[in-house]
Every structure is written in C-alpha cells, then in structure tokens.
Amino acid sequence: MTWEKKKENDRQKQGKITIEEFRAIYRCIAHREEIIEIFNTYSENRKILSENNLTEFLTQEQYELKIDYSISAEIIQKYEPIDEMKNKRQMSYEGFARYIFSPECLLFKEECKTVYQDMNQPLNDYFISSSHNTYLISDQLIGPSDIWGYVSALVRGCRCLEIDCWDGAQNEPVVYHGYTLTSKLLFKTVIQAINKYAFMSSEYPVVLSLENHCSPSQQEVMADILQSTFGDVLLSDMLDEFPDSLPSPEALKFKILVKNKKVGTLLETRERLGTNKQGQVLDFQIWVQPTIHACSLTIVEIRKLKLSMALSDLVIYTKAEKFRSLQHSRLYQQFNENNSIGESRARKLLKLRTHEFIFHTRAFITRIYPKMTRADSSNFNPQEFWNVGCQMVAMNFQTPGLPMDLQNGKFLDNGGSGYLLKPDFLRDTTLSFNPRNLRVIEGCKLPTQLPTQLISGIQLPISMYSSKTGTLVIIEVHGVPDDHVKQQTRVVKKNALSPRWNETFTFIIQVPELALIRFAVENQGFIAGNEFLGQYTVPVLCMNKGYRRVPLFSREGANLEPSSLFIYVWYIRE
C-alpha cells in the first residue's frame, strides 16, 4: 500500500483508515484495467474463463505450444480462490489475476533457472563470473577490506575471487590493497570464509586468483592454510583424464583451483606429490612490459622472483602467465596458462586486433581487470569484452550501476551457476566472427525481431524526492555494437501505483546469443537528471513470450517486490 493512497483515502484525517477505505485501496490495486481487458477478451460472458478459454489464452498469448487441458486444470486448481469455481473447472477474474501475478508469468524462462547447458566442455569455453579485489567493499585507496566481500560475491554466484596477499606480522599473510590505506584481513580468515560459502549457490569450481606479493616463507604458510582448510576439495594434482587439456566445469565440480605463478610442468608436480617441500624455493623470472629507450632500441627487463615450491605445486590448470603479445601466446603459451590483461590494453586489442584476440580467447582463459585509475571502484562495461570471448571479466561487485546490472543479468542464466557456455562462434576456430563487423557471421542464430509492448507498471517504487513528477521506462539492448540501442516511454505524471503506457518498441537484434535487455524505471528530473527507481536485466534468449511481469531490483540488487512492469513480448526469427 502506498503512502499517497493511504493519505488519499484517510477521509477523517486521523492518520488511519477504516476497513471500507482499505477495501477501496485493495480494489484499486487488484482490479487493474489492463488485466480485466485481457480476461474479457477470452471470457465468453466477461465473468468466467472456462478450461477451454484458459487453454486458448495460454496457446494464443503465452505461446505455450505444448499446453493441454490438464495444464489448464492445474492452473485453475492452483490459483482460483473460489471453491465453487474450482469444482466447475472455471476461473474468475480474481483467479486469473493471481495467475498473471504469479512466478509462472515472469519474463525469465523457467528452464534458464536450472543448469541446462553442456557443462562437459573445457573451461576456456565458458564465461565465468569473476570479481576484482573481492576483499574490498568500498573504494580502492582508503576503504575497508571485509570478509563480506567474499561472502556476498559467492552468494551471488561468483566463481573467480581475487586475493591480494602480502607479508603480515608474526608470519601471518594478510589480504589488502598494497601500498594503500585499505584495512587488512588475515589470509586464513579469508580462506575459512571461502571454504564455508564456496558452493552455496553453485557446485561448479571456484578459482582463487592470487595476487601474490609474499616472501617464500609466508607463501609456505599460505600453501599450508589452503591445504588444511580445503582438504580434498583443493585441486592439487592434474586429473588423469586431462593431462594436456583443460577439464570441464563438470569434471571440476566442488573443486577449488589456485591461480598463481608456477614453475615446472604438471608431470613434475605430480612426481613431487607427498614429498616434503618445506624451505624449497624456486627462482621465477617474470617478463616486464618492454620499454623504448631513447636510442629507439627495445629493452626487455626481466625481474626475478622467489616462489615457494609448496605454493607453486598447488597451481594446476590455472597458471598465471604474464601476457606479452597475441603472437607470443599463439607460439608459446601452454593450455593451462591464463592471462590477466588490463581493460585499456584489452580494449586496444579488441579494436585493432579483433580476429586475433578472439582466436586467443578461444584457446586460453583470459581475465580482464579494471584500470588502476578506477580508485573509486567504478566498473567498465563488461559487454565489450564478452563480445570477444573473454572468460573472466572481473568486476568490482561492491559498486552498483549499469555494469553490475549487466553482470548480474547475464549470469542469471544457466541456473545462476556462474558458468555460461560461450556461443559456437566464440569457441569454434573454424568459424569467423567479428562483433564490430557483422557482414560475415558464421555459427550465429538468425537475426531476431523483438517487438515489446510496455503496458503498465505495478506499484512502482516511490521517488525519494517528489511524488508530483512523472515516471518513465528506458529499455536498452546491450550486445555487439550494432545491437546496442536505447528507447524510452513517455512520462506518466503522478501515478506510480498503476501507470499505463501501452507503447510498443521493436528491436532488431543481429546476435541474440550475446544480447541483454535492460528495463530501467526512472522518475523524471528537471535539474539534477532523472532519479533511478529500479531495473531488471535479462539475456534476450532467456525471455518468455506473451504477457509477462518484469520484477524490479534496487540499485544495490534488492528485490522490490511487488513493484514490477507488465509487458507483452514476442520475437520473430528472420
């Protein structure tokens, strides 16, 4: 019940309402004209829907092609509140409205709520939900580090966590953003939290991306903590079936993988299993980005690091390898070596070397991380990197906004498992694809027309500043550049309870496999811009057809139920 409606019906001005006034408000909310119009279209007498009427509605409007009378009977039994109507296998308007407002009529497809994709392909064939500086819950310079960063990310389906490790007092490694004033966490506390929450939302593998700045002695402590905390869940040896290729998410169910620098081969690691590695230190050479000297000669600097053998041997299929160039990777990179590339350099590669970059991401797990100047923990738009097949697009999960809306919306798919099988054209080396040039598209579904009628809003969130302005909805498509488009409705004044738009928008989507659609509700602003009220983002291929309800979420991701949009959607393959 909205405060405005309560005040409007408080005729006695006592700060409370009578039962009759309450009934008037209920009728205003429950008896929605747009639902009544649909009901009357299929009701023979505008009073009831027969089983046949309901079946006709389901097939004609909801595109339920496999519907039969038994399904209609089940819906009547589930949603019709009047026993007499149930017994006659009929449905009143009240029952029909309950069905329309039920989870069965949400926009998101039921089959996408479970793991339905092939999970037996190698890890590099999947988009993997990934976070950046997971320990931070605010900015990158002075904000707090908190265990909640890891807990929150895991609960939201994140499968790649970043842990920045530094030497701490009393031989206890700590986690924080080095050379800043962010607070510190004990490494063992972080690992204990991850162990508790790792598989609460998904049973598929979790990758711990270690940004390792520790001395060899504290690296040994890290290795001991990892082994003692995770036990057999920690992958510390290659799988017999995958000696020279990446395993699948299915083969790695309920496993923790360590992503870190490594010395030696997987076979050498296996030969050392069970041996005492205490005090054994390996020299590790790290390649540094070449610089141009004043005399125009290219100078390569090589830094030498010390790596504990105990920690090195815990790295199996996710070996961190410095990215040099696409050509170098093509010639020398091993199947179990992963690259991390900053957003600025990655953006240059996807613009100037698109074909080669996609060839690279087909073969190797590639992680993209935010540039250093994002001290406020802002995010880049992840879509441009998904478009070229980058598996781990690392986001600052603590920062709400459009980029995280896209992240959350994309990974709703496949049961929220945190793993999404990439489209064929981003996996198959025989297919040609360029998101910036769609003249040649191989392996894609046909372009899709997506007509969408935005009918109305249902108990939309109230503006924090004014209820006298108006509400509008912005509909955006995010995907390859040619598919990116934004349209908006007219403004409906002073009615957040049940605004009506009845506006239809048609989107032509060239690459539906990569497209997301976002519905954003805003309150019209005149001086400081529009006020965000709620949004919902969903993959285009996870959209149901027909009359559907679009739930709304706050900027921070909280469900704003019962606030929602009521739409009619259908799509046509060309």
pLDDT of 400-417, one tens digit each?
A: 999 999 999 999 999 999
How many other C-beta atoms are found inside a 10 Å radius of the C-beta of residue 541?
A: 18
Assess whether pLDDT exceeds 70 at residue 13.
no
First to last CA, the chain: 44
Please identify which of the residues 31, 177, 328, 355 carries the catalytic annotation.
177
What pLDDT does 11 receive? 54
CB 226 within 8 A of CB 211: no
CB 564 within 8 A of CB 458: yes
Closest by CA to 409, choosing from 500, 566, 517, is 517
CB 319 within 8 A of CB 365: no
Query: 0.85 cut: is pTM over it?
Result: yes
What pLDDT does 292 receive? 45
Q: pLDDT by residue (tens digit) across 129-178?
A: 999 999 999 999 999 999 999 999 999 999 999 999 999 999 999 999 99
Provide the pLDDT confidence category of residue 421 given band limits of 50, 70 and 90. Answer: very high
| Token couple for 258 | 């360590």
Please identify which of the residues 132, 360, 478, 484 carries the catalytic annotation.
132
Please provide the DSSP assignment of 11-67 as one string: TT-SSS--HHHHHHHHHHHH--HHHHHHHHHH-SSSS-EEHHHHHHHHHHTS--TT-
> Residue 177 catalytic?
yes
Q: pLDDT by residue (tens digit) across 269-291?
A: 999 999 999 999 988 877 666 54
Provide the pLDDT confidence category of residue 303 given band limits of 50, 70 and 90. Answer: confident
**Lookup result for tokens 């962010």:** 182
Who's near 41: CB < 8 A, 6+ residues apart?
none
User: What's the mean pLDDT in 357-371?
Assistant: 98
What single DSSP character describes residue 387? Answer: T
> Residue 478 catalytic?
no
Please provide the DSSP assignment of 130-164 as one string: EESSTTBSS-SSSPPB-HHHHHHHHHTT--EEEEE
What pLDDT does 562 receive? 93
CB 84 within 8 A of CB 48: no
